[in-house]
Structure 1
């Protein structure tokens, strides 16, 4: 079993240098019966308990958030990722992502509470806790009897998480730690039962994690609820620890291992955040489409105007691409976990290694999908016009809720730099061969291009060739930048961010094409013309971004003949033989949306 999975699964970051067959990617069309039932159960909960109460969430009804979380616990939604041994459902990683996807569409307030509890509030214990810690705390968290919160960020420690000042001092008898410090932006603080707290012991280089039960008589106090742009009913407070006593056995993992715990928790949080932005997009698209069909101007439904149809097509395309890439990565992670377990590794260690393997993809997804949900909600407001700016419609709250997604789980700027940085580190460790392909790209630039007319008769033949070339464009830019700056590349953040945008578009475009190719083989091309149009439209836009970011990078560090050669190579690698009719593609997509009156892909 493990050998089979190893052959079919591309390792983290290898998508850049290894061809992936459409048969080897998982797509939403591959959901099994159990997953479809889970999806429908979650949607029913959202439609019954959350969506009708949007106005209460927007009025900062924190009690409703807590009540809704308890109902989610009663239905088992908080326990999907928790092993059965600790009161959970023990489902696979795809199921975990699926639930996070569909439970997050109605309101960002509940989505944040859910994500904070099931992810960073529970997962550090299931992945790093001792058996005694897991038996004591995880069943309560899985059922919703207790809620968890995660105390990492401090006034002076945000993106630089390891610079926190909170201190943990061991008592003379060695039985307890005394924790003192200030944490901020703590989700679920107002109703949580326990915290995962990160503090520094002595002059340790790295912070350490602790499980801290919430008790006011133990030196724990809180600030008032923060008044935020969005996610208004998500409880967010400062938490103060004043010589809070914590049993020594409540240290999480080993001393000094807190930074590693925090980073791995963020990796999982990033792909789950991407998933949490998907149903939010579907609902915005559905509402915008329905409104466009109803709204009459000049005796015509505005859904018939090209300016509106263009927006709807782009919104649907980005959502479809986000689904494609998110579930591709989720299944890759699940398969890696399965392979590790088949080797005899514990589920705990297998899940850690599985997620860590795809940290690059998790960062890519976090950036791409969080920015797509913001764009989608912004265009949703525009389609509604003046009404979109009103609290009486769902668009303005969707826009406000979407804004935080680009900040938490590591800002998008941090994640952009991380994605390229982690890829380079993998290459240096020999996990991804970048040097060989980059060298071949350099040789190709010096060679004479072929003038043969390629055969693009098969579906996506040209598109897949373009994706290969976009990968070459990235390798050319990133490889040259590494040669130019070496270990100082980290200091050139603008180049890293531009290269990251190229990397993001490669992964997202390829995922969309592979999903659609797989679907077309199953259903027949005639039945999936809209999906084919979305895959082609996304690639067309990706080529533009790669061209722009590649040029920006090249002219920033190359000069003279080197610059001219690289710009010529960039033009070669972003060239179409048969340029698609973008207006026609958008018309194909929007015609389906308008006819179905909803997001229907």
Structure 2
């Protein structure tokens, strides 16, 4: 496995790094205070092509492979996580369903505008009764002629306030359980689409999550994504595809926290010397650095496997699990290294500490990732020890 980036990707990564350091970081405190990403920053991100990372070049995107996307996501992770989530969700679960599962007509209709950021993407699976148990959907889709009529609700939908295109999961045949779920491409302007309240969250300021309500929502048949009954499998594919990217964003945040912690430990003096010379502090920094290197290796290995079209169900769950848990541990150590100032809202460490917590919940909780890993271990064992001729 060779994770050396092509020259054009490495050059683009440096451009993104400069954008993060010179444009986004200086307004991170404003995003936190106002719960909004400045329009000028969003426009610059569009101009750079950051909304088209996952979209093939023939539809106006950059068409990066997973390793390339992870390199960019790692840079994006080094700034305000609300901005990172805004961009990452669009490029991940917001667009990948159409890219990977859409027919040519759907791709031609939606991807060019999504590549430029004119249309934002979102993913609508979670419901009050269907969080970790994603198969327990209550939203229904009944076909009537050339349309499906959707009724139900979704909640905690990232980018809902800003998105134009939603990948929505609904039940078309309640008698079939998970095999009765179908996925649809829904535009916010379709009759019967209602955006509910914006949730007040612990972190990820600037990244908005909303309720959605479908009241006899009319969706053309041509907007069905795949065949009837494939929605649950589609949802799992979309979520699994994005896990390396989410790990890369976590990796960038972890690296940011380590860099800030090393800088502070070199500058802060106690007992007549920099605190980095205190073994307890040095060991925390060493542990942070070790976890980052493990996460980096896992992230790019899973990204490479994805690009080789290998089965990454287990590995993707592992990197999502490890990445989110490591981010939380590293954020906790960063607060400890900084002491009192790490707990003060004016300094970014406190913000990263709060933002880290959601990573163990969204796009599949840590517990669900362990279930996936365990199920794959059982499957692999049974395959390996299957009696001859069976």
Fold agreement, TM-score > 0.5: yes
Matched, 1:329 2:295: no
Q: What's the TM-score, normalizing by structure 1?
A: 0.62
Per-residue CA deviations over 1:149-179 (Å, capped at 9, x if unaligned) read 11100000001111110011212xx111111
CA distance in 1, matches of 2:312, 2:185: 27
Name the structure 1 match of 2:347: 393
Name the structure 2 match of 1:375: 329
What displacement does 1:54 show? 1.3
What displacement does 1:86 show? 1.4
Conserved? CA contact 1:225–1:235, under 8 Å? yes
**Which structure shows the higher helix fraction?**
1
Per-residue CA deviations over 1:311-355 (Å, capped at 9, x if unaligned) read 001001101111111112211221x23xxxxxxxxxxxxxxxx4x
Q: SS of the counterpart of 2:130? A: coil
Sort the Cα spacing of 1:328 and 1:73 in 2 relative to 1 into closer, same or farther, 3 A: same
Q: SS of the counterpart of 1:59? A: helix
Aligned residues: 384
Sort the Cα spacing of 1:96 and 1:221 in 2 relative to 1 into closer, same or farther, 3 A: same
Name the structure 2 match of 1:254: 227
What displacement does 1:192 show? 0.8
Conserved? CA contact 2:66–2:245, under 8 Å? no
Name the structure 1 match of 2:51: 78
What displacement does 1:420 show? 2.0
Q: SS of the counterpart of 1:145? A: coil
Sort the Cα spacing of 1:386 and 1:434 in 2 relative to 1 into closer, same or farther, 3 A: farther
What displacement does 1:434 show? 6.1
Name the structure 1 match of 2:152: 181
Per-residue CA deviations over 1:283-311 (Å, capped at 9, x if unaligned) read 11111111111111122111111110010
CA distance in 2, matches of 1:320, 1:101: 13
Counterpart mapping for 1:91-110 below 5 A: 91-110=64-83
Q: Using the TM superposition, name which of 220-229 and 359-368 deviates more.
A: 220-229
CA distance in 2, matches of 1:426, 1:259: 22
CA distance in 2, matches of 1:207, 1:105: 37
Structure 1 vs Structure 2 CA RMSD? 1.7
What displacement does 1:49 show? 2.2
Sort the Cα spacing of 1:425 and 1:233 in 2 relative to 1 into closer, same or farther, 3 A: same
Name the structure 2 match of 1:191: 162
Name the structure 2 match of 1:294: 267
Please say which structure displays the higher CA radius of gyration.
1
Q: SS of the counterpart of 1:62? A: coil
Moved over 3 A (4+): 66-70, 433-436
CA distance in 2, matches of 1:405, 1:264: 19
Matched, 1:59 2:59: no
CA distance in 2, matches of 1:221, 1:374: 35
What displacement does 1:32 show? 3.3
Q: SS of the counterpart of 1:77? A: coil
Name the structure 1 match of 2:249: 276
Name the structure 1 match of 2:13: 39
Matched, 1:311 2:311: no
Sort the Cα spacing of 1:256 and 1:70 in 2 relative to 1 into closer, same or farther, 3 A: farther
Conserved? CA contact 1:51–1:106, under 8 Å? yes
CA distance in 1, matches of 2:84, 2:103: 29
Conserved? CA contact 1:62–1:233, under 8 Å? yes
CA distance in 2, matches of 1:181, 1:68: 35
Counterpart mapping for 1:535-546 below 5 A: none
Name the structure 2 match of 1:124: 97
What displacement does 1:275 show? 0.8
What displacement does 1:67 show? 5.0
Q: What's the TM-score, normalizing by structure 2?
A: 0.94
What displacement does 1:35 show? 2.7
Conserved? CA contact 1:69–1:114, under 8 Å? no
**Runs of 5+ consecutive residues of structure 1 not aligned to the other structure:** 1-24, 338-353, 437-601
CA distance in 1, matches of 2:165, 2:262: 43
CA distance in 2, matches of 1:412, 1:37: 35
Conserved? CA contact 1:26–1:327, under 8 Å? no
Q: SS of the counterpart of 2:28? A: helix
CA distance in 2, matches of 1:225, 1:56: 19
| Residue of 212, 216, 222 corresponding to 1:243 | 216
What displacement does 1:418 show? 0.6
What displacement does 1:33 show? 1.9
Conserved? CA contact 2:157–2:209, under 8 Å? yes
**Runs of 5+ consecutive residues of structure 2 not aligned to the other structure:** none
CA distance in 1, matches of 2:267, 2:287: 20
CA distance in 2, matches of 1:99, 1:423: 31
Name the structure 2 match of 1:412: 366
